[in-house]
Amino acid sequence: MDSTAVAEKKADWGLAVRAFSFPASIVPVVLGGVLAWYATGRFSWVLFILSIIAGVFYHCGCNLINDYYDHRKGIDREGAYGGSGVLVSGAMEPGQIMRGALAFLALGSVIGFFFLYHFHTHPTSPWPFGWPLLAIGISGLIGAVWYTSGDASAKYNALGIPLVFLMMGTLMVLGGWFIQAGTLDWLPVIVSLPVGFMVAAILQANDIRDIDDDRQAGVKTLSNLTGPRAARQQYYFMLFAPYVCVLVFAATRMLSWFVLLPLVTLPLAIPLAKLFASTPETDSEKLHPSIENTAKLHMAFGMLLTIGLVIGKLTGM
């Protein structure tokens, strides 16, 4: 295989796993790990990096399974939004996508077993065998597979938003925390709320744009069940709830005042809300940029929240 073919193959896989979406899994794991250091002082760079890689591997597996089943059900087709497009274009075969999904999920699980071995040989918590981490890992694996696999999947039955909120919000932050701290606590669950709302807003923007396509394909989402108007109100809530959360974190002294740093992203959030408010329900194509821009906002918000924790820890404020 010549260099051009190799480059094309890499590009196809990059599209298939939707590498552009990786911040959605990186941000919560990073936040959880840094929060553990902020609250307990415990931190391992090796465990931190491996936890990020494991989260991304599971994310890749989920995206590939999503492509496989959306193509199989006819949701991803010529002229329709969503998906990576590699199956619709014929650049890759369904079998390749499914084998890739299984490989990424297996690699993520291997890292998970390493974490279990670490807790077994270096007990640092009341649970030296790391059973809570095992539960988190199994839940993540089930969520990645259940999101789109089969007719009873979450995405096709209006459970996509709640599942993404839990998997890429609560579960990933809690996992990043536990890998560092070795303990369970309500703090990471509470602090996961802003990134959970924000990642849910990405999917909500996508679902609002795809209301007509999803209805034609027989896919149930919160957006097409509640209708365009209610769906947009739900998006506004998901978009601005994270700002309320950080205000509460700071006002109650739960976290450092520096966690207010994400407030500087409000100038990015307001135009998104205005776009949905000004776009007619019959002209969903104009909402296409909102998905990428919501994802960028999620990344900026999450990283600034994390940076706020670092500054607060270093300054003792």
- In the DSSP assignment, the letter for residue 220 is B
Q: What is the pLDDT of residue 109?
A: 95
Domain spans of the chain, in order of start: 14-315
pLDDT band of residue 77 (cuts 50, 70, 90) is low
DSSP conformational letter for 157? B
Picking from 66-75, 93-102, 142-151, which range would have the lowest pLDDT averaged per residue? Answer: 66-75
Residue range 207-260, pLDDT digits in tens: 888 888 778 777 888 888 888 899 999 999 999 999 999 999 999 999 999 999
* Mean pLDDT confidence for 139-154: 86
Three-class DSSP category at 164: helix
Q: Strand, helix or coil at 256? A: coil
Residues 6+ positions from 293 with CB-CB distance below 8 Å: 268, 271, 272
What gap in Å lies between CA 194 and CA 32, rounded to an integer? 12
How far is the C-alpha of 163 from the C-alpha of 161, rounded, in Å?
5
pLDDT of 79 > 60? The answer is no
Question: What pLDDT was estimated at residue 40?
Answer: 93
- Rounded CA-CA distance 21/296 in Å is 10
Q: Mapping DSSP to helix (H, G, I), strand (E, B) and coil, where does residue 46 land?
A: helix
- pLDDT score for 261: 97
Contact call for residues 141 and 188 (beta carbons, < 8 A): no
Taking the C-alpha atoms of residue 93 and residue 152, their distance in angstroms, rounded to an integer, is 24
* Percent of the chain whose pLDDT exceeds 90: 57
Note the pLDDT of residue 302. Answer: 96
CB 161 within 8 A of CB 207: yes
Q: How confident is the model at residue 66 (pLDDT cuts 50, 70, 90)?
A: confident
Residue 267 in tokens: 């100038």
Give CA–CA dist 245/294, Å, rounded.
Answer: 18
Condensed to tens digits (0 to 9), the pLDDT of residues 156-213 reads 888 989 999 999 999 999 999 999 998 899 999 999 999 999 999 999 998 888 888 7
pLDDT band at 3, cuts 50/70/90? low
Task: Name which of 105, 134, 136, 139 is nearest 120 in CA terms.
Answer: 134
| Residue type at position 285 | E
Within 13 Å of residue 197, how many CA atoms lie on the same side as its CB?
A: 18
Q: How confident is the model at residue 289 (pLDDT cuts 50, 70, 90)?
A: confident
Q: CA-CA distance, 212 to 215, in Å (whole number)?
A: 5
Mean of all residue pLDDT scores within the chain:
88
Query: Does the domain at residues 14-315 carry the CATH identifier 3.40.50?
Result: no
Q: Is the pLDDT of residue 46 over 60?
A: yes
pLDDT for position 53: 96
Task: Please report the pLDDT score of residue 33 as a whole number.
Answer: 97
Residue in 171, 221, 229 with CA at minimum distance from that of residue 199:
171
For 85-103, write each residue's pLDDT tens digit: 677 777 788 888 899 999 9
If you count them, how many residues does the chain have? 317
